[in-house]
Amino acid sequence: ELKVEQNPLFLSMQEGKNYTIYCNYSTTSDRLYWYRQDPGKSLESLFVLLSNGAVKQEGRLMASLDTKARLSTLHITAAVHDLSATYFCAVDGAQGGSEKLVFGKGTKLTVNP
């Protein structure tokens, strides 16, 4: 059974600082997704990582995937208040198409001025 663990679950950081969110998963997969959720809102896709060593960047966020270590990271560079949200990783452990995504519990990020 695929399990996905994120840490930390809560992260409070100051503007301008850097930090990394970790996503570990328990079974082989080379398809990992990062989503953002603002309070009371739906989920917004951030990154799709499809192979070992994949790295994607958008603004102050950079995501990477190490399938051998079963680990993905979401790195935040010079945080700003607008990045405050909950971030979820999700792993697709199925063969074939997108089936049965398993989500981590989320990391609630608060960026303080």
Q: Summarize as ranges the residues that interact with other proteins (CB under 8 A).
A: 4, 9, 31, 33, 35, 41-45, 48, 50, 88, 90, 92, 96-106
CA–CA dist 104, 102 (Å, integer): 7
Q: Choose between 85 and 104: whose C-beta lies nearer to other proteins.
A: 104
Task: Return the structure tokens found at 71.
Answer: 């680990």
Q: Choose between 50 and 69: whose C-beta lies nearer to other proteins.
A: 50
CB of 75 to other proteins, least distance (A): 20
Strands 85-92 and 101-103: antiparallel
Q: Choose between 81 and 105: whose C-beta lies nearer to other proteins.
A: 105
CB of 21 to other proteins, least distance (A): 14
Q: Choose between 97 and 113: whose C-beta lies nearer to other proteins.
A: 97
CB of 38 to other proteins, least distance (A): 12
CA–CA dist 98, 91 (Å, integer): 10
As beta bridge partners, residue 56 has: 63
Strands 107-112 and 10-14: parallel
CB of 73 to other proteins, least distance (A): 18
Q: Is 24 helix (H, G, I), strand (E, B) or coil?
A: strand
Residue linked to tokens 């990154």: 47
